[in-house]
Amino acid sequence: MVRSMVTEIEAKVIEAKKAAITLASVSTDIKDRALEEMANALDINRQAILSANMRDLEVAEKLQRKGELSQAMVDRLKISDNKIDGMIAGIRDVIKLEDPAGRTLSALELDNGLELYQVSCPIGLIGVIFESRPDVVPQIMSLCLKSGNSTIFKGGSEALNSNRTIFDLLVEAIERSEGVPKGAFQLMETREEVMDVLALDAYIDLLIPRGSNAFVKFIKENTKIPVLGHADGVCHVYVDDEADLAKAYTICFDAKVQYAAVCNAMETLLIHEKVAERFLPKMAQMLESAGVELRCDKGSFAILEHIDFIENLVHAVEEDWSTEYNDLILSIKLVSSIEEAIEHINTYGSHHTDGIVTENQKKKKKFSDLIDSSSVMINASTRFADGFRYGKGAEVGISTNKIHARGPVGMEGLMIYKYVLLGNGEKVADYVGPSARNFTHRKLDKLLSDVMMEK
């Protein structure tokens, strides 16, 4: 029984791997037509999507009441008309993006008639393993299709109906567009399939996990496949002593409250002690009105403990500084300098997204230079760290890695490159020994696609 399941999974993966070879060479026009079909399918079938999501939500909310599923997971699971609008907009933004496949990145003459081209190409077969968020399916499928990558999706059981409905609608739309190979996109649904997917390093070229800290850590620790992503989203905002406090109130409120259950929400607020007495009471009142629990260090607690309207106030403990709450909880700490703020962020943060509020130009530069994070915000909310907001159409995820791709990752994170050498019978033996020919290594202003058409 187990063996037949593994064989079935392998068959799906192998089919997608083979389709990836053909998909890599599909023209931009064909891909864009398929993307438009995908967007139309979501628009026309809104009620089917919402009905499927309602079935998932009924089960999820029961599990949440039993303590078996977090509120953050339930929030991420919810689909609304607005969310469907966002899915559609994301797909149509991908249509507008330049096709990244087959672009000449560099051209070099090695010798007369011997030319080397570095050309962008898809990674191949992408594995996407995710919890809750059904909107991951159209986001990543659209980016993978446009970039020429096949994709294996494995969603969580809590979103089973939503994922299946959206996936089927999108694949049917793609198959109506002649020229896209069948089998390029696959969906896996059982819990057992996760471990099987993690073991298929012979076929899957890159894994993108989307979910909780524990989930992403589990993926990273149990596969040989390269993983693009981040485990934690411990994001900070530092309010400097030279901050415009009017800006600080709106930035900090948005960073925490606009949507608390996401990885780019602020989890720790750092405040320069010189402005704390002026800034913190009003900021705390705003957060209190939104239901935020405040976990304060000694200095901030002392400022707030005698204020009548502040009720959700507790003492912070050491682990708060490195905790991603994904909830209406915020840790607060006073610092004596920008240097202390930077040190705290680089020590306790997750290198995801961190911001400063200041009017001092030198401090803006110092913060951006020294903060070791994938996104640094100057006088703006951390919530802007998002592929759609960064103009990428959508995102495959946010990476805190320092190789290949970093920050909100769009199609560039799904691309790699190859070298193509055009020659005319040249051999290495002519370039070694006493009478060796010399390499010219001259940069060329040519595109490989144009050269190949000429030949």
DSSP states of 386-401 as a string? STTTTTSSS-SEEE--
**pLDDT, mean over the chain:** 91
Lowest mean pLDDT among 124-138, 229-243, 383-397: 383-397
Listed range (64-68, 96-100, 139-143) with the worst mean pLDDT: 64-68
Instruction: Show the domains of the chain with their CATH numbers.
Output: 2-101+122-228+408-414 (3.40.605.10), 235-390 (3.40.309.10)
406: pLDDT strictly greater than 90: no
Distances (CA, A) of 386 to 28, 381, 382, 407: 25, 11, 9, 8
Tokens representing residue 107 in the block: 């051209």
Q: Helices in 209-349 by DSSP H: which ranges?
A: 213-221, 245-257, 273-289, 298-304, 338-348
User: Of 48-57, 155-164, 364-373, 384-393, where does mean pLDDT reach its minimum?
Assistant: 384-393
- Residue 144, SS3 per DSSP: helix
> In the predicted model, what is the mean pLDDT of residues 339-349?
96
Give the lowest-confidence range in 46-60, 157-171, 386-400. Answer: 386-400
Highest mean pLDDT among 290-294, 310-314, 451-455: 290-294
Angle at 441 between CA 439 and CA 446, to 5 degrees: 130
Residue 138 C-beta-side C-alpha neighbours within 13 Å: 36
- Does 2 score more than 50 pLDDT? no
Which of 127-141, 185-199, 348-362 reaches the highest mean pLDDT?
348-362
List the end-to-end C-alpha distance of the chain, in Å, as a whole number: 55
SS3 291: coil
**pLDDT exceeds cutoff 60 at 416:** yes
Sign of CA dihedral 41, 42, 46, 49: positive
pLDDT at 188 over 70: yes
Give the span between the Cα atoms of 213 and 274, in whole angstroms. Answer: 35
- Residue with the bigger pLDDT between 5 and 229: it is 229
CA–CA dist 26, 184 (Å, integer): 12
Distances (CA, A) of 337 to 69, 247, 271, 275: 40, 19, 9, 11
| DSSP run (H or E) holding 49 | helix 46-65
In 3D, which of 123, 172, 187 has the Cα closest to residue 149? 123
Q: Which of 262, 270, 309 is nearest to 287 (CA)?
A: 309
pLDDT at 1 over 50: no
- 0.85 surpassed by pTM: no
